[in-house]
Structure 1
């Protein structure tokens, strides 16, 4: 039962990361493209924090295991790198 909300959060997070990595601005003049990518990265970072905090609750960690910390860490790192290298 605990895996369903975490799975949905991680799936949504992965979709935001995919959108941020796959899409690129059309050129240096494309301000909307840069804004969309940075928004997807920001939402992905927020979902990574939420997923990590849910996983760190002792009852969830005991029932689900510590490996559930890997998806928010990996997806958050990818989103952060994409946002940092966007310029």
Structure 2
């Protein structure tokens, strides 16, 4: 009877542990990106809506950047190769929304 090696067991546990912060940061980025895309000013002088859009974009880019900073660590990068894609995509969408101007 063969047993899985210790490396395989640790890698599965490591993947689960490292997935939690990446998933949480991606969900936070998704929420703020959604708010940035759904806030609509009621009139051209609605500064509150424009400020809310900018804040949502900044928070989306910040959380996507935090996820990228976590992902760049060698131990995370080795285990979770493609997981950064959704967070970076949300950051790009928020950046385009911010540049396009509320």
Shorter chain as normaliser: what TM range? over 0.9
Partner of 1:4: 20
How many positions carry a matched residue from both structures? Answer: 86
Rounded to whole Å, the distance in 2 between the matches of 1:15 and 1:4 is 17
Partner residue of 2:47? 31
What is the distance in 2 between the residues matched to 1:68 and 1:55? Answer: 8
C-alpha RMSD of the superposition: 1.0
Shift of 1:86: 1.3
Q: Which residue of 2 aligns with 1:42?
A: 58
**Which ranges in structure 1 are unaligned for 5 or more consecutive residues?**
none
Structure of larger gyration radius:
2
User: Does the 8 Å contact 2:39/2:52 carry over to 1?
Assistant: no
Please name the residue that 1:56 is paired with. Answer: 72
TM-score (norm. length: structure 1) = 0.93
Name the CA distance, whole Å, in 1 between partners of 2:46 and 2:91. Answer: 25
Alignment correspondent of 1:81: 96
If the length of structure 2 is used for normalisation, what is the TM-score?
0.80
Structure 1 outlier segments of 4+, above 4 Å: none
**Which consecutive unaligned segments of at least 5 residues does structure 2 have?**
1-16
